[in-house]
Amino acid sequence: MDTYLEIRLLPDPEFSQHFLMGALFGKLHRALVELKANNIGLSFPDYSLAPRGLGERLRLHGTKQALSVLMEQHWLKGMSDHVQCSEVLPVPNNAQFRTVSRRQFKTSSERLRRRRMKRKGETYEQAAEAIPRHVERSPELPYVQLRSQSTGQNFHLFIEQGKLLAQPQKATFSSYGLSSMATVPWF
């Protein structure tokens, strides 16, 4: 993780920043899946809980070779009018480290009820009694909206940042460029 590149969303009168970040993230995910890459992590330098958002910048972290191989895939095709991409740059010496991970929530009582009915063979009424509506949680984390390639369903991928650390933690990244264990440079 000695290098990074930064992708900045450009203002667009037709598309919101949130929509463009979702499109960019979806394209990145497909490229990482295609490459079977688990050595590229990402971060959102403008990440904010209040107001909730990922911001206008996405950083990709990895070795110079890993980032070069990714960019050779031309995965940004179709986004060139909407983004500005830096060269591969060295990570500053004074960088700290943090995890950037996916956070999943069991938010829908209806979904939990259907799952319980299937698992336990219960009726809807039994499942509704066991899982009241107040178990629903409203996540307060920034997210990107994506479409599942396997099911075609839209879903929110919530993103959580870990605490700042002085030393990096090595592990692999998911095909979303996220990890609950591996850190990325933070500066």
Catalytic residue selected from 29, 61, 134, 156? 29
Q: Which of 5, 83, 1, 102 lies closest to 45, judged by CA? A: 5
Residue 156 annotated to the active site: no
Give the DSSP per-residue string, 11-58: P-SSS-HHHHHHHHHHHHHHHHHHHT--S-EEE-TT-EETTEE--SEE
Single-letter amino acid, residue 23: A
From residue 66, give the alpha-carbon distance in Å to each of 35, 37, 72, 127: 10, 8, 10, 48
Q: Which of 48, 4, 61 lies closest to 179, judged by CA? A: 61
- Catalytic positions, written as ranges: 29
